[in-house]
Chain A
Amino acid sequence: MKYRLDPQPLEWIDRSESMSFDFEGQRFSGFKGDSLTSALLAGGQKLLGRSFKYHRPRSALSLANHDVNALFQSAEATNIRGDVTPVSEGLKLRACNVNGTLANDKDTYIGLLSRFLPVGFYYKAFHKPKKFFPFWERLIREKAGLGEISTQWSAIRQPKQYGFCDLLVIGAGASGMQAALTAADAGADVVLVDENPQIGGSLDYQLVNESDAASARRQLKQRIAEHPGIRVFTGHYACGWYTDHYVPLVGPEGIIKMRAGGVIMATGVMEQPAVFRNNDLPGVMLASGAQRLIARYAVKPGQRAVVLCGNDEGYRAALDMIEAGIEVAAVVDLEWLDKRGHWAEQVKAKGIPVLEQSAIYEAKGKDALKAVVVAPFDGRSCDSGQGKTIRCDLLLMSVGWAPAAQLLYQSGSKLGYDKKLQQILPRELSPGIHACGRLNGAFTLEQRLADGERAAKEAVAQLRGKTVETELTRFRDDRAHSHDWPIIGHPKGKNFVDYDEDLQLKDLINAAKEGFDNIELMKRFSTNGMGPSQGKHANMNGIRVLAEITRKTIDETGSTTARPMFHPVPVSALAGRRFRPERLTPMQAWHTANGAKMMEAGRWLRPEFYGAPAQREQAILQEVQAVRSGLGIIDVSTLGKIEVMGPDAGRLLDVVYTMKMSTIKQGMTRYALMVDDSGVIVDDGIVGRVTDDRFYVSATTSHADAAFRTLSLKIQELGLNVRLVNRTGSLAALNLAGPASRKLLSTLTDVDLSEESFPYLGMREGTLCGYPVRLIRVGFVGELGYEIHMPATAALEIWETLIKAGKPYGIRPFGVEAQRVLRLEKGHIIVGQDTDGLTNPFEANMAWAVPLKSKPWFTGKPSLALLQARCQRRLIGFRLPKGYNGELPKECHLIIENGEMAGRITSIAYSPALGRVIGLAMVDLPLAESASALEVRVDSGAMVTLEPCPTPFYDADGARQTADLTEVA
C-alpha cells in the first residue's frame, strides 16, 4: 500500500484489520473501512475504469458516490461503485465496460473514431439501408451498457420497514447536525440520515485540518450520540421525496419507508468539474475528492499537484495536500488573488506559486496525467498562445458547486440562480420543507451552524402549528463559491461536460445548433445527465453552456426535472419481502390430498381439476361427465357471501342490482346482475330473501370484496337503514350437482327437498350432518343441483360426508375447468371472461336482466338507456363441425372479417354432451346479426371457420335443472 499515509485524525479505516481482494486478476489489500477505490489507489492502481463510449482511461473523481467511471463487477453483482463500496475479504472484481482487460481494452479504438460519432449520431445513422439495421442493432447492443448482468443470479430480497419521526434531517454535515440538535432540544423526535458511514459531512474532510472546527465537530457529534431525541441512520440515503414527507431511506439492509412530519434538507453541495481538454485523465480529480481520499482513507492521491481554483475552497485543498506531503506545484486561479481569503494567504505564505487569471487549457498524458498546460484566462476563454506546461500527476479542480437539491425539487420547492453566490439556491419552500447549510448558500462554519439552527426552529414551530416567517437568506454568504464559466474550449475537443456519457463541449454546442436549444430537449438529444450519476457533475455545466449559446440567464434556461430516485436503488431493495396473500378454503387439505391441481382465482387457490397434469384433458372430461350423468361436487367457498339486513335492505338491493330484488318472495332467489354507473357489467350472483327484512347475496370470487364495498357505499350515499355482514370467510360453500344430488342430499338433511317444497331457485335453511346450512337450488352447471352454504368450521366434515355418501352414485369432485365447460354448454357467461371492461348487458345478450321500463332506478340505468340503442357488438355462440381435428382456436383469438378484426373468442371448450367444440365470441354487431360463418385466426396464422349457433348449447329448456332427473332419465 505504497500510497497509504500515516494515520489521519478522522480516518474511517481500521488499520488493525486487513482485507485482501482481487481486481483484474491482481491481488490487493486494504483495511476495514476502505472503499474499493481507496484500497486500489493505496495499492498504486490508478486506472480504475473505462469510459462509456470511447473507452478512455478513467479513475477516481469525487469519492462521493458519483464515480461512475470506476464501476466494478463481481460474479454476483454489477456496476458496483468503487468509490463507496467497502472492501471485503476475498472479493473478486473486474472493471465494467471493457473489452478484454482494463489495461488492454480492445475498444479504445472507438475514441479514434469520435469525430465520426457526433452527438445524436445514433438517431440519424443506421436506418438505411434497412436490411443492415439488424447488424447495426446487434453491434450497438453489444457495445452499449456498462456492467453485465449474470442470468444465473440468486434472488435477493431485502425486507422493507416503515419508520416514523417528527422531523427528518437529511444530511449530517455541520448544518444538518446542528439542525437535528436544535429540533431535538425543542422536543421533536428527530431522525438524522446521512449516506456516509459516519456523520460529519464536509466538516470531516474539508475542514479536517481547521483547528477552529475541531471543537464544534466534537461537541456536535458527542451531543448527537447522547441525545435521546435523535436517531441517526448512517449509510442511508434518501432516494426520493414523496407526498406528505414520505421519504424512502435506502441502506445496506434495505429500504426504510420514513414518514416524517417535516423535512430539513441539509444535503449540501456537489463539487463540479471544470471543462477543459483531457479533464478526464486519471489524476484529474475534484478537490473535495482528494480531500475525502486523504481524510477518510489516508490515501495520497498523487505526488505533485496543481490546484485549479475558482473559489476559496481550492486554497484549503492546496493546504491539505501540503499537509499530506504532496508537493503543490502551483495554484491556478481563474480570478485575481485579492478576491480570496485567508486560505489563499496561507498558500502564498508557503511560497506556492499562484497563477492568477489563468485556467487549465489542457491536461496531458496518455493513460494518466503527466502535465497541465496553463494559460491566461479572461473569464470566458484561454489565450492558448501563452500556455505554460507544468509537470504534475495530480490536478485538483475547485471551481464551484451545485446544490444537492434533487429532493427539494421533488418536494415542489422553487429554486433560482443567485448571481452573488453563482449558485442555484432555494427561493420558496413547500410546506413542511426546510433547507439549510451550503445547499442554502451558507458556506462558512458559523453560517452553516446558524442556518441549521434557524431551519430547525422554523421546522419545530411549523410542526406545532405555528405560522413562521422563513428566513432563508439570513445566514447566506455574500461571496461566490462557484465560477460562472469554468469551461475552456479547445479545437481538439475531449473537454468533457458529462463523464458518464462521454459528452464533450462541442456535443452540447452542436445539439443546440441542431435546434435542441431547450434544456429538456438538449438532455434527451445529447443524453447529458442521463448516465448513472444522473447529471450530478454534468447538469450545471450543461445549463451554463446552453445559457451561453442562447444568451439567456441561468434562470431562463432552467434545469431538468429531478425525478425520484435521486440515486440508483438496488432492485433487491425495491423488491422487498414478498407479500402475496394466499387464501385457502376449509377443504384445501382434502383437495391436495386427493390430487387436485390448484390454480389461482384472485387471492384464492381453487382446484383446477383432480388428477395428474398429464391427464388434464381426460380428467376434466370425466368430471364433466360425472356431473351430467351422476353426481359431482365442487368447492365454491370462494364466492362472496353477504348478509343484507334492515328495513331498507330491499331498497338497497334494488339500487345496486339491475333487476328488482325487493319483490323476491321469502325463500326464493333471483339472478343478480351488477353494472357500474357507465352500464358496464362488473359482477353477477344471486340474491335470496331470508325474511322480510333480510337478504342473502352471493358475488363472484374476484368481486366479492368490491361488491361489499359497493353495497356499503350505497348505504352511506342514500342514508339507508341497512346492516351488512360480509360472511365470505366465515361461511364455506359447495355445489352438489347432478341427477342424483337430491337423492343423496335428502338422506343427510332435515330440509324437505321435494319439487313442491323446494322448487328451482328456492333457498331453504335447515341442518346438514347436524350443522346449520342454507341450501340454494341453482343451475349454473345446468343440472339439478344445490349450493350448500355452511359454517367454515363444519365444511370439511360435511364435504367428506357427502363424498362418502355419494360413492354409490359415482360422486366425483370437479374443478374450475369442468365447471367452465358445464356452464358453457348452458351458455352462461363468466363475468370477466366473457365480458371485459366495456361490456354492457345488451352486448352480453342479457337485455332480459335490464328492466329499463319497469324499474324506476338502478345504478347504471341512465347509461344503459343510452347504450341500448348504441350496441356495437354481441356475444354469440359458435361451434366447430363434429369430428373437427384441425388446429383448435383459443380464447382471445381474433375473429377476422375482410382482413379486419371483427371480434374475439371469449370461451371455447370441447363439449362432451354435444361431442364437438363449442364457444362464445364477442362479435361486431353486423357480423353477429348476419348468421354468417365466422373466420378466426389461430396461433399458426391459419383461418378456421366457426359456425354461429344459438345458446344454450345444452338442455335449452332447462328441464334437467328443474326436474328430478332420476325420474325423467
Chain B
Amino acid sequence: MTALHLSNRDDLRGYLLTGPGSADALSAAGLPLPQAQLSAAASAEALVARTGSDEYMAFIGAGAQQPAHEWCFPRADSVLALKGEGWIALMAQVCQYDFRRMQPGDWLMTSVAGVNCWLYHEINGALLIGFDSGYDHYMNELFHTLVNELGGHTLNEGDAR
C-alpha cells in the first residue's frame, strides 16, 4: 500500500497525427500502434492513443523518435501522474467515470473537474491525466489540494464491503 502521490510528467512531448498515413508514420518511428479506436498502446518511451479512424495522439519520452508526417502537430499538454492508495477516491471527487472499472492499459477521454482530459492507466499503476497546458495552474492547484486533503483517506464506500 503506497501513499497517494502526484507528480508532473514534463518528460513527455505530445503530437497529434491525423489523416492517411498517420499509422505508418508511427510505425516508422518505432512507436506502438493501438488497434482499437479510443484505446492506447504503450512502450517504455512512448504512449500512443488512437483517437479516431486515422487520428492518433502520441506522447514520447526523450529516447523515442519523433513521428514525421504531413499532418503531425505538436501538442502542448500538461500531464499529471497520480499514484498510490486512494487515487480512485480522489478521482471520484472530480470525474463522473467509475474508475473502479478502469484497468491498467485503459485509455479514456472525459471531463475532469470541468476540463477536457485524456486519462491513461499505466501498467505500473499510475493514472496519467493529460490536459491543455493553459489549465496547468488550475489543475495542479486542485490536484495538490485534493492529494493533501485525501492523503491516507479512501473513498467513502460505506461501512462494509
Contacts and interface: CB of A to CB of B under 8 A. Distances in A.
16 contacts: A159-B149, A160-B93, A162-B92, A162-B97, A225-B160, A228-B161, A253-B156, A257-B96, A579-B142, A583-B134, A588-B137, A723-B19, A729-B134, A730-B73, A730-B76, A730-B132
Query: Which of B19, B94, B159 is the most central at the interface, judged by chain A CB atoms within 10 Å of its CB?
Result: B159
Contacts of A192: 158
Given A161-B155, A232-B158, A645-B71, A579 B92 contact: no
A162 B95 contact: yes
Nearest to A729: B132
B73 A643 contact: yes
B76 A723 contact: no
Contacts of B157: 231
A224 interface: yes
B136 interface: yes
Contact of A162 (B16, B18, B19, B96): B96
Interface string B117-149: 000000000000000111111100010000001
A717 B158 CA distance: 47
Contacts of A224: 160
Nearest to A638: B134
B76 A585 contact: no
Given A191-B158, A231-B157, A729-B132, A581 B93 contact: no
Contacts of B19: 645-646, 723
Nearest to A224: B160
Contacts of A164: 98, 100
Given A191-B158, A228-B161, 19 more contacts: A162-B96, A164-B100, A192-B158, A577-B93, A579-B113, A579-B142, A581-B135, A584-B134, A584-B135, A586-B133, A645-B71, A723-B18, A723-B55, A725-B18, A725-B71, A729-B132, A729-B133, A730-B73, A792-B133
Query: Which of A160, A577, A730 is the most central at the interface, judged by chain B CB atoms within 10 Å of its CB?
Result: A730
B68 to A, nearest CB: 15
A579 B142 CA distance: 9
In order of increasing CB-CB distance, the 10 nearest A-B pairs are: A231-B158, A729-B132, A583-B134, A730-B76, A164-B98, A792-B76, A161-B92, A723-B18, A232-B158, A232-B159
A232 B92 CA distance: 18
Contacts of A163: 92
Interface of B: 16, 18-19, 54-55, 71, 73-76, 89, 92-98, 100, 113-115, 132-138, 142, 149, 155-161
Contact of B160 (A230, A645, A729): A230
A178 B98 CA distance: 27
Interface in A309-330: none
Nearest to B115: A581
B49 to A, nearest CB: 15
Contacts of B155: 161
A594 interface: no
A469 interface: no
Contacts of A582: 135, 137-138
A730 B75 contact: yes
B93 A729 contact: no
Given A723-B18, A793-B76, A232 B160 contact: yes
Contacts of A585: 134
A226 interface: yes
Contacts of B98: 162, 164, 259
Contacts of B135: 581-584
A579 B73 CA distance: 30
Interface in A131-165: 159-164
A727 interface: yes
Nearest to B73: A725
Given A162-B96, A723-B55, A581 B114 contact: yes
Contacts of B71: 643, 645, 723, 725
